[in-house]
Structure 1
């Protein structure tokens, strides 16, 4: 497979050397812009002249979706940190590499035999990357084991996460991000707290009790992998809510501080666990106990590799990628991006690592004519500040993928401006909520400190589909209002 891939890439390189089929001629685009799109160009120039954009470093490109011709550009070849707009490449590569019908698998296996209700041997929980596993799925596993007559397990509960490598955090993650769900460690065996599928995190909630007492803390799902240190205090109604929930970096201690006023809902935070594999095992053991299945007094929860001779007792497959890409792209799920990268590396290069997965992303971009020298990234989610791309190449990607058989699935996964439904509007549900932009901007957001991006498709008043990519950084004042003005101007064009 490696050899075939390299041959394909070499052939593409040869073809691209002698052809400009994917790269619009800038001079032709300039003529186009000067005639048909003069009013739009003037509006965009006015927006670019405001203080927010003048004080930011930016890269902007607008293309015709039908031909790829550039109709507006400002610093199109300037490398900018893309934040989550990098997921546009991750999602495209995943659909191409894994396929729309790809499903993650999880299995329960044993190297022992059942006798009189006792499983004499170890029980293995083998993960292959599924970020959609919930407590209810482990409950189903426990029910299935009970139906097979298992009431007691004499051996260990072993979590097998060897499908991917053991590196949990990608390069570039900052220490202050590590305690939270969006920077949760990556593991082939993990668990999500709810249907948003923020794998590797626990929902920690603190609510007021009685005056002077500590806030009441709950974990969802309830787990022992986090230890709560509650320093909070319930204060009288009308006081300021200063509750803060975080995790001490390098430990499993959840620290809760601040005041929780009576009459308020308190505070809620999605906290990343330190070890997703042990988190999944802990919840699995709880599910077993709830179904009346006990483990031996000397049994342990440990990590390990499933023996080749182990027998599969139960298995589960996730929803297909064509469905999973909705919460991934709409909600901009970082963990999904990184898991998909490792899965792509596993499939193409036989290695579930970031190095392999990111290489697959570069391979795909190059194979469709993207100038990969303009793409520098060290993760698949866009969380690293060291990532750099240009608006021209990102918009070129959005143009060439329109020819892919999975394009409709990809297009539907993009947040739709102004739609209040979380799984439709996603990260744009509270933006661009009025005409003409509402419902006519389908784009991926990107946001880090002093970095804002928006890239995707927009329909003009005449129904023409345009591709736009707006990348900004070094902005002390948020450029979101200006970016939204750009999107609105495009939808208002006729």
Structure 2
């Protein structure tokens, strides 16, 4: 049988499958060009689900398996970010404060300085004029390059505020109260440490720049450079086209002064960033804030390692009259641009913890058992969403299942909110920026489709290849005729003998979205 014959049979199968679903009577099948993408041999073992939904009429345009649950990957972040915007409000600003626990006598604090972690995800150098946070398409948490700004900008600014109050010494220590929620778990994707204190996204960047010629030494730049981590690097440059071979070993006896040894080789070409995860962000905060204070002339030491934090006792000092520094974040809607464009796992994983903790503090012990997912469920129920089409165990998408119909209805809910236009703009743009920067760059839909990507994959030892358990794309576009469309696309279990099946699946989803934009009027 010819390849064309196989393709035709696959197309007929895909269309028949849609017609036999429980809800097929109310929907049309995917157009031929979309069905042809789905029927490519690389997707022979994959499962597809999708829905394209007209937001004005409230009707499905076309769909396939729209009520079945799929592994959504980071399209989950649409739900996480919108839930945070609904609960906290798009204008919410995190306030990170530093308090003194005793009087100031002759410029000397008779007690401690306490930084109270608020959950602000952007204690960094991201802020820009116009109340925007900067981002790089491949975030440094995923091995991309760091922003050029000093990642300790916020910490240094708070230290300067302390000095501006005439404080020149502290008899006690510099403490961090990170009791908003428990610190120490690792998020499921990049394995970065969850904490209510987030400085430089809780990583230290290690920028490895190859030499000009093979055999020369590569340089390693540490950012931020702090007393917390010392790096010893011996890395050589090899010919371009080779494979990086770096080995990173922590060689530390003092847990507050870590030593990292980097050896190996990198090929000529662009710099890389095998960033190092900060294991205890609150401890890191104590060390870098004490160092920043010393840099502005305030004599201070970080908390002694033998001293435990008593957050309940410290809260007695959290009064405006005792506040010596404060950082106020940009509005929460500005954070949406970072979280959604770059698919920032730490930020997304923190939000359910932040929401649950804030509610517990406001409601008291009676609500202590509730979590951020209880809050999300309440929101979904109020808006009449079908919760049987949603399963969520983390904020980033490492533990979730969604149906295409649930996701499009969730997007419909967002579209009716005052922040809808800003939310749409915060999503990656097909072929332009964020995690869609390299997807369908030359397609008709490039620059017209705004959608969150999602990927969940693992290694298959049997076949020595990667399998894509879930690849997703969910968002919006406006047709040439002015119709506003919400859509959700999922392909699960892509097992194909290609160098990177995640790229294959991602390009296919982007192609389908572009075809839909091009075809719908």
TM-score by structure 1 length?
A: 0.80
Tell me, yes or no, if structure 1 residue 94 matches structure 2 residue 47.
no
Q: What is the CA–CA distance in structure 1 between the aligned matches of 2:36 and 2:171, rounded to whole Å?
A: 73
Tell me, yes or no, if structure 1 residue 149 matches structure 2 residue 166.
yes
1:29 to 5, 26, 31: 26
Q: What is the CA–CA distance in structure 2 between the aligned matches of 1:137 and 1:301, rounded to whole Å?
A: 28
Q: Determine if contact 1:341/1:354 at 8 Å carries over to the other structure.
A: no
Q: Residues 438-491 of structure 1, C-alpha deviation per residue, up to 9 Å, x if partnerless?
A: 121111101122131111112333332222211122112332232122112101
Q: What is the CA–CA distance in structure 2 between the aligned matches of 1:96 and 1:297, rounded to whole Å?
A: 37
- Show the counterpart of 1:217: 220
- 1:288 Cα deviation after fit: 1.1
Q: Determine if contact 1:391/1:470 at 8 Å carries over to the other structure.
A: yes
1:431 to 426, 436, 439: 439
2:347 to 300, 325, 336: 336
Q: What is the CA–CA distance in structure 2 between the aligned matches of 1:68 and 1:245, rounded to whole Å?
A: 54
- 1:133 Cα deviation after fit: 0.9
- 1:354 Cα deviation after fit: 10
- 1:123 Cα deviation after fit: 1.0
Q: Which moved more, 1:211-220 or 1:448-457?
A: 211-220
- Show the counterpart of 1:376: 391
- 1:130 Cα deviation after fit: 1.0
- 1:96 Cα deviation after fit: 0.9
Summarize the alignment of residues 6-21 of structure 1 with structure 2, pairs less than 5 Å apart: none
Q: What is the CA–CA distance in structure 2 between the aligned matches of 1:142 and 1:212, rounded to whole Å?
A: 44
- Show the counterpart of 1:4: none
- Show the counterpart of 1:256: 262
Q: Determine if contact 1:81/1:473 at 8 Å carries over to the other structure.
A: yes
Q: Determine if contact 1:240/1:259 at 8 Å carries over to the other structure.
A: no
- Show the counterpart of 2:202: 200
Q: What is the CA–CA distance in structure 2 between the aligned matches of 1:86 and 1:151, rounded to whole Å?
A: 47
2:195 to 170, 180, 187: 187
Tell me, yes or no, if structure 1 residue 362 matches structure 2 residue 377.
yes
Q: What is the CA–CA distance in structure 2 between the aligned matches of 1:357 and 1:247, rounded to whole Å?
A: 36
* Residues 101 and 42 (structure 1), Cα distance of their counterparts in 2 relative to 1, 3 Å cut: same
Summarize the alignment of residues 44-193 of structure 1 with structure 2, pairs less than 5 Å apart: 44-134=34-124, 135-166=152-183, 168-169=185-186, 173=188, 182-192=190-200
- 1:313 Cα deviation after fit: 1.2
- 1:355 Cα deviation after fit: 6.1
Q: What is the CA–CA distance in structure 2 between the aligned matches of 1:254 and 1:297, rounded to whole Å?
A: 22
- 1:98 Cα deviation after fit: 0.5
Q: Determine if contact 1:64/1:466 at 8 Å carries over to the other structure.
A: yes
* Residues 303 and 468 (structure 1), Cα distance of their counterparts in 2 relative to 1, 3 Å cut: farther
Classify the secondary structure of the residue corresponding to 1:131.
coil
Q: Determine if contact 1:281/1:301 at 8 Å carries over to the other structure.
A: no
Classify the secondary structure of the residue corresponding to 1:183.
coil
- 1:27 Cα deviation after fit: 6.0
* Residues 118 and 492 (structure 1), Cα distance of their counterparts in 2 relative to 1, 3 Å cut: same
Classify the secondary structure of the residue corresponding to 1:400.
helix
Q: Determine if contact 1:157/1:302 at 8 Å carries over to the other structure.
A: no
Q: What is the CA–CA distance in structure 2 between the aligned matches of 1:207 and 1:58, rounded to whole Å?
A: 41
- 1:89 Cα deviation after fit: 0.8
Q: Determine if contact 1:432/1:484 at 8 Å carries over to the other structure.
A: yes
Q: Determine if contact 2:183/2:193 at 8 Å carries over to the other structure.
A: no
- Show the counterpart of 2:405: 392
Tell me, yes or no, if structure 1 residue 457 matches structure 2 residue 476.
yes
Q: Residues 316-373 of structure 1, C-alpha deviation per residue, up to 9 Å, x if partnerless?
A: 2111112121111111111111222222213334489996112211221222111112
Q: What is the CA–CA distance in structure 2 between the aligned matches of 1:368 and 1:146, rounded to whole Å?
A: 49
1:348 to 344, 351, 359: 359
Q: What is the CA–CA distance in structure 2 between the aligned matches of 1:258 and 1:393, rounded to whole Å?
A: 48
Q: Determine if contact 1:161/1:303 at 8 Å carries over to the other structure.
A: no
Q: What is the CA–CA distance in structure 2 between the aligned matches of 1:97 and 1:361, rounded to whole Å?
A: 9
1:282 to 284, 287, 312: 287
- 1:94 Cα deviation after fit: 1.1
Q: Determine if contact 1:235/1:260 at 8 Å carries over to the other structure.
A: yes
* Residues 238 and 103 (structure 1), Cα distance of their counterparts in 2 relative to 1, 3 Å cut: closer
